[in-house]
């Protein structure tokens, strides 16, 4: 394994450990990645990358000081779920995504399953459905669902390939090396770069496809957080749209953020890359019902990376 893959592996494992609450293991992996990066002479953006990893370590250390017991989000009544759909969605796809954003995964899976019947929504519904399956069950169940679709005739080869390209990185992120079956006619040659000195971590490998983003760091230029970089976990992602759930106890952190605000120099963290870009706040809403009542939903649209 070349140093490029070693670093990506360390960062991927660190993110996985962090997501599972295994903070000491995550910190160890981040330190390992930093050590490998530090050994590479002439690596572009080395200082910024090392700083980003250092910030991640500090954020984890801060979290461990106030770890709270987290329980699974309870399923709402049908009335409550309908309220979420009507408040946060206009199309059927948006309503299904809204259910997933607020932890109503079983209901969201049912909605996405119905949307598979509609060609216009089939690919996006399939992607979101698999993500929900991984949230409530396991990555193995998501793979089984993919294989069922692969063996059927609901999806065209192009649609199936779009879903495979979406699921495969998440499967690898979970430590499963088995490649997903590629639809006939969609085979592509793997392109591997052996020049470790050309490693790029300040942008995704493909500008056409947004990576799976686990958290973001927002630098504040005014207000109570001026001069600070505050990290937020991504609760849900749909392409270039990100949703963050901010606990009401942290209301002060986002008090100076408003609809339409442009956010510059955001740090985006994914399992295989750390990069900088801009985003626009499309909506900041206080949740008025359900288990997250009183919390805030902050929706962002990625502008550039």
Phi-psi region of 205 (alpha: psi -120 to 50; beta: other; left: phi over 0): alpha
Q: Are 146 and 164 in contact (CB under 8 A)?
A: yes
Query: Looking at the domain that runs over 3-64, which CATH code has it been given?
Result: 1.20.58
Share of the chain above pLDDT 90, in %: 19
User: Is residue 48 within 8 Å of residue 36, measured between CB atoms?
Assistant: no
- 144 contacts 120 by C-beta, under 8 angstroms: no
What is the C-alpha to C-alpha distance for residues 106 and 217, in angstroms, rounded to an integer? 30
Cα gap 217→51, rounded to integer Å: 12
Q: Which of 205, 285, 176, 229 is nearest to 53 (CA)?
A: 229
Residue 276 pLDDT > 80: yes
Please say if the pLDDT value at position 171 is more than 50. Answer: yes
The CATH code belonging to domain 215-304 is 2.40.10.220
pLDDT band at 195 (very low <50, low <70, confident <90, very high): very low
pLDDT at residue 49, as a whole number:
83
CA–CA separation, 290 vs 277, rounded Å? 33
| 285 φ/ψ angles, rounded to the nearest 5 degrees | -130, 140
Average pLDDT, integer, range 285-298: 76
pLDDT interval class at 167 (50, 70, 90): confident
* Maximum C-alpha span of the chain: 59
Average pLDDT on 113-124 reads 93
User: Read out DSSP for 103-150?
Assistant: T-HHHHHHHHHHHTTSTTTHHHHHHHHHHHHHHHS-HHHHHHHHHHHH
Residue 244's SS3 state is strand
Three-class SS state of 74: coil
Is a pLDDT exceeding 80 seen at residue 270?
no
Domain edges within the chain = 3-64, 78-173, 215-304
Each residue of 137-156: pLDDT tens digit?
788 899 999 999 999 999 99
Q: Report the distance separating Cα 4 and Cα 200, nearest Å.
A: 9
Per-residue pLDDT tens for 53-107?
888 888 887 766 644 434 455 667 888 888 878 877 788 998 998 888 777 888 9
CATH architecture, range 78-173: Alpha Horseshoe (1.25)
Q: What are the tens digits of pLDDT across the range 205-244?
A: 444 456 668 788 888 877 677 788 888 888 777 778 888 8
Adjacent-strand bridge partners of 237: 242
Residue of higher predicted confidence among 190 and 124: 124
Q: Name the percent of the chain lying above pLDDT 70.
A: 83
* pTM for the whole structure: 0.53
Confidence of residue 20 (pLDDT cuts 50, 70, 90): low
- Model confidence at 159, pLDDT cuts 50, 70, 90, reads very high
pLDDT higher at 1 or 19: 19
Most trustworthy range by pLDDT among 147-161, 173-187, 263-277: 147-161
Please give the pLDDT value at position 63.
66
Helix runs in the chain, H state only: 3-19, 23-38, 46-64, 78-88, 92-101, 105-115, 122-136, 139-151, 157-173
Tell which residue, 287, 288, 283, has the closest CA to residue 299.
283
- Decide: 294 and 284 in contact? Cβ < 8 Å: no
Q: What pLDDT score does 146 carry?
A: 95
**Mean pLDDT, the chain, whole residue set:** 79
pLDDT for 41 equals 76
């Amino acid at each position: 394994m070349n140093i490029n893959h070693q670093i990506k592996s360390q960062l991927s494992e660190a993110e996985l450990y962090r997501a599972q609450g295994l903070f000491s293991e995550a910190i160890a992996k981040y330190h390992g990645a930093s050590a490998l990066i530090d050994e590479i002479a002439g690596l572009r953006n080395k200082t910024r990358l090392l700083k980003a990893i250092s910030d991640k370590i500090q954020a984890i250390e801060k979290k461990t000081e106030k770890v709270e017991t987290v329980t699974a989000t309870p399923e709402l009544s049908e009335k409550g779920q309908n309220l979420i759909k009507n408040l946060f969605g206009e199309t059927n796809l948006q309503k299904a995504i809204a259910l997933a954003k607020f932890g109503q995964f079983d209901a969201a899976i049912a909605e996405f399953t119905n949307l598979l019947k509609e060609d216009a929504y089939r690919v996006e519904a399939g992607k979101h459905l698999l993500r929900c399956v991984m949230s409530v069950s396991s990555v193995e169940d998501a793979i089984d669902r993919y294989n069922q679709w692969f063996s059927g005739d609901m999806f065209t080869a192009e649609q199936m390939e779009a879903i495979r390209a979406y699921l495969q990185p998440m499967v690898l992120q979970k430590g499963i090396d088995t490649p997903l079956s590629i639809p006939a006619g969609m085979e592509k040659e793997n392109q591997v770069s052996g020049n470790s000195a050309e490693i790029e971590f300040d942008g995704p490998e493909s500008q056409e496809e947004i990576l799976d983003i686990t958290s973001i760091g927002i630098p504040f230029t005014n207000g109570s957080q001026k001069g600070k970089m505050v990290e937020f976990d991504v609760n849900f992602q749909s392409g270039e749209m990100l949703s963050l759930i901010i606990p009401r106890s942290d209301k002060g952190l986002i008090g100076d953020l408003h609809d339409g605000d442009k956010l510059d120099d955001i740090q985006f963290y994914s399992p295989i890359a750390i990069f900088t870009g801009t985003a626009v706040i499309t909506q900041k809403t206080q949740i008025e019902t359900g288990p997250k009542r009183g919390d805030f939903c902050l929706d962002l649209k990625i502008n550039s990376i």
